[in-house]
Amino acid sequence: MQNGEEPNKIISIEKNSKPRVKRRRVDEGGLVLLFFVLLLLPVLVRHDDYILQVFTHALLLATLALAWNILGISGSISLGHAAFFGAGAYTSALLSLESGISPWLTIPLGGLLSSGLGLVMGLICMRLRGAYFALATLAFVEIPRVITDNWDGLTRGSLGLVGLPGLPSLHLGSWYIHIGSSVAASYYLVLIHALFLSGLVGFIFHSNLGIALQAIREEEIAAQSIGIRIERFRLFSLLVSAFFAGVSGACYAHMVRYIGPELVYGIHFSAAPMIFALCGGRLTIVGPALAALILYPVDQFIFHPLLPAGHEFLYGAVLVLVVIYLPRGFWGSIRKAP
């Protein structure tokens, strides 16, 4: 062991990390390739609407998983993101349906309301840690679900909301895109959202905010003792995470154009982001999104035709295998750095 006889000796870290730099290039090449595949997908599948719809939904789940992981960086596992997804969906749907505001405006408003709900969740659940936090969030989903289900006058209760306005057309001078009616256009819209969120998560990871969230994840008491205000950082990550989960829900509402309490507050939208994040790699930036882009299409194209009743067993099986054999997630195992 070196005993520190040379206090100012700085060992070049570039030297130590050379092999990793090489591997990173392979990963980054893969990501660039994936980017172009996603960009050209509508052309590659010859505008097959079914395939495009599946990938649109996969991208939407990817945005939800990315949003989930903003909280995940700080070590909190949420089983309640359906609360934000559903609240975002209902807020945007009701605002656009009742007052005729453009979905372009109601979608971020849906995110804001989800953030408000995140504040409530934070105040109630943030004193808990680990499994206790996860269970509290699981129970928390019931609050917005029961309110939505029973406030018939506003939400039409369990009947759900039908005939929601689709995403309106974009006008750019004489040139315009019918996002609402074109499958490819909504695909690109969700793709842009997913890319934006990946960028945001990347920024958080590499900023000092990310380093604080990671420190909190690893050792709260030590993090506090070196000057980190852990309550604020944990709450902040929850609010941002809830905002983008709400935006995902709102996009979902205007793309599917039907929502009901059992659907958008269902366990599916709580479990999916967690499964994707754990499978892809919770400590990575794009791992959760990659898992959504792989698992959901595999589920829809392969397992759904084979096992129409029990196709979702795929998620359970993959999750068990990943947790046992690749605890860092598949992307986390390929790539050591975030």
Partner 1 sequence: MTLLQLHNVTKTFGEIRALNGIDFSITEGEIVGLVGPNGAGKTTLFNLLSGRFRPSSGRIIFAGTEITGLKPHAICRLGISRTFQSSRPFAKMTALDNVIVGCVFGKGFYLRPRREDKCTALEILGMVGISHKAETLAGDFTLSELRRLDLARALATRPRLLLLDEVAAGFSPVAVKQAVKLVLRVRDRGVTMLIIDHFLNLSLKVSDRLIALDFGEKIAEGPPGEIMKNRKVIKAYLGLRHEEEHE
- Binding residues (CB under 8 A) for partner 1: these are 1-11, 13, 16-17, 206-209, 211-212, 214-215, 217-219, 221-230, 283
Q: Is 283 helix (H, G, I), strand (E, B) or coil?
A: coil
**Rounded least distance, CB 245 to partner 1, Å:** 23
| Residue position matching structure tokens 């105040």 | 123
d(CA 332, CA 338): 8
Nearer to partner 1, 223 or 318 (CB): 223
Q: Is 10 helix (H, G, I), strand (E, B) or coil?
A: coil
Nearer to partner 1, 21 or 159 (CB): 21
**Rounded least distance, CB 277 to partner 1, Å:** 15
**Rounded least distance, CB 5 to partner 1, Å:** 8
Nearer to partner 1, 81 or 328 (CB): 328
**Rounded least distance, CB 207 to partner 1, Å:** 5
Which pairs from 238-241 meet CB under 8 Å and 24+ separation?
238/71, 238/76, 238/118, 238/121, 238/122, 238/126, 239/115, 239/118, 239/119, 239/122, 240/70, 240/115, 241/67, 241/68, 241/69, 241/70, 241/71, 241/78, 241/81, 241/84, 241/118
Nearer to partner 1, 62 or 212 (CB): 212
Nearer to partner 1, 101 or 228 (CB): 228
Q: How far is residue 23 from each of residues 20, 136, 289, measured CA to CA in Å? A: 5, 40, 20
